[in-house]
Structure 1
Amino acid sequence: MSRRRSYDQYCSAARALDLVGDRWTLLIVRELLAGPRRYTDLHADLPGVSTDVLASRLKDMERDGLATRRRLPPPGAAYVYELTLRGQELLPVLQALGTWGEAELGERRATDALRAHWFALPLLRSLEGEGLVEVRLEEGDFHLHVGAADGPVYGDGLAPREPDARLVLDAGTCAALGRGELALTDAVRDGRVTVTGEGTLAKALREV
């Protein structure tokens, strides 16, 4: 592997940027927060990245201890990438970056790609407590592990078991939440988000 470029500055922010400051690295982390992902799945959910750049960034992340590559047991027998504990510690960094970037989001442009699970992190910022939340959009379904101490914080598709809460909303409402224009509690109160389920999270949202 090639030697990592460095700012050569004795500063923790500079050292952090040595590891995650390259284009695409933090977006790869965003995808791997969903748990182990195959290279082909990562490439599909990172529209615009070249195969060479994606492969290079993944190698850098392995070298720097942010991600690992392992082979699934049969019948899968495919290789997957997943975050290390060190890589998982970037969740609050991405959340803070997302909060800061809300003012830049604006309306969706014609050239903007969109994946339903990209709304996972903004919704996580709106939820308190612990539990499994299923989110249903016209663009697709995903689920959130609210309050997860480690491991995946979200995943594609419906929840793997009965969720503590189920949210049904449209992409416009999700976008408003992501831009910071709308609070989840207000969206529930206004009927823009339908909440079902008998878990603590569902009850708390219905009682707002």
Structure 2
Amino acid sequence: MSPRRSYDQFCSAARALDAVGDRWTLLIVRELLAGPRRYTDLHADLPGVSTDMLASRLKDMERDGLATRRRLPPPGAAHVYELTYRGRELLPVLRALGEWGQAELGERRPTDALRAHWFALPLLRALEEAGIGAGVVEVRLEEGDFHVHVGAADGPLYGYGPAPGEPDARLALDSATCTAVSRGELGLADAVRGGRVEVSGDGAVAKALREAEALRWAGA
């Protein structure tokens, strides 16, 4: 492993940046908030990172107690990386960075990569702020599907693809609407009332979201 680089400052912010201030580290944390992931999957969902850089960052995160590496039992028999409790504590940091970065997002550039699940954390925040209760919500975008765990105290916060089993609600929307909700420009309830989010499912979460849709028609 490469020697740890440090700002050599007796300051908590400097110490934090010693651990997570290097390029790619926090984006790896973003990916691992979905639960254990293989190296190849991480590399596929972090376009632009070299294999050497990703391997180096993962080793640094293991050394610093942010992530661990383990082997799945057969028939998987693959190595996966996952966050430690200390690594998971970076969720508020990522959320704060995401909120701060909303003003920097602007229009999508031709060179910008996009994965559907990159909307998971801001949309999860919007669902929690809407007060619709705990449950699994499946989200369908033209770029792909993902699901989020609203109100999860531990475990993965989101996952890739459709939800395993029957979700508590399904949301269908376009990326423009998801971007507006993520930026805080459009409230989730307003998006439902405005017909920009289609809600389906029989769970309590779906029913709570459909109440907003019912208000839309009542006010029409």
**Could you say whether these structures have the same fold, taking a TM-score greater than 0.5 normalized by the shorter chain as the test?**
yes
Matched AA of 2:199: V
Matched AA of 1:55: A
Question: 1:52: how far off?
Answer: 0.7
Match of 2:153?
A: 149
> Structure 1, residues 74-120: CA drift from partner, whole Å, max 9, x if none?
11111111111111111111111101111110111100000000010
Match of 1:103?
A: 103
Match of 1:116?
A: 116
Helix, strand or coil: the match of 1:186? helix
Matched, 1:167 2:171: yes
For the residues of structure 2 that align with 1:161 and 1:91, how far apart are their CA atoms?
26
Structure 1, 76-85 or 177-186: larger mean CA deviation = 177-186
Match of 1:17?
A: 17
Question: 1:192: how far off?
Answer: 0.4
For the residues of structure 1 that align with 2:102 and 2:117, how far apart are their CA atoms?
17
CA RMSD after TM alignment:
1.0
Matched AA of 2:192: V
For the residues of structure 1 that align with 2:64 and 2:56, how far apart are their CA atoms?
12
For the residues of structure 2 that align with 1:178 and 1:65, how far apart are their CA atoms?
30
Question: 1:154: how far off?
Answer: 0.3
Identify unmatched segments of 5+ residues in structure 2: 213-220
Q: Aligned to 1:200, which of 198, 204, 207?
A: 204
User: 1:88·1:150 contact (CA, 8 Å) conserved in 2?
Assistant: no
Matched AA of 2:206: A
Matched, 1:184 2:188: yes
For the residues of structure 2 that align with 1:147 and 1:48, how far apart are their CA atoms?
32
Structure 1, 7-16 or 81-90: larger mean CA deviation = 7-16
Matched AA of 1:93: V
Q: Runs (4+) of structure 1 moved beyond 6 Å? A: none
Question: 1:20: how far off?
Answer: 0.5
For the residues of structure 1 that align with 2:126 and 2:42, how far apart are their CA atoms?
26
Helix, strand or coil: the match of 1:127? helix
Aligned ranges 1:43-82 → 2 under 5 Å: 43-82=43-82
User: 1:195·1:202 contact (CA, 8 Å) conserved in 2?
Assistant: yes
Identify unmatched segments of 5+ residues in structure 1: none
User: 1:67·1:87 contact (CA, 8 Å) conserved in 2?
Assistant: yes
Question: 1:198: how far off?
Answer: 2.4
Matched AA of 1:141: D
Aligned positions, number: 208
Helix, strand or coil: the match of 1:101? helix
User: Which has the larger Rg?
Assistant: 2
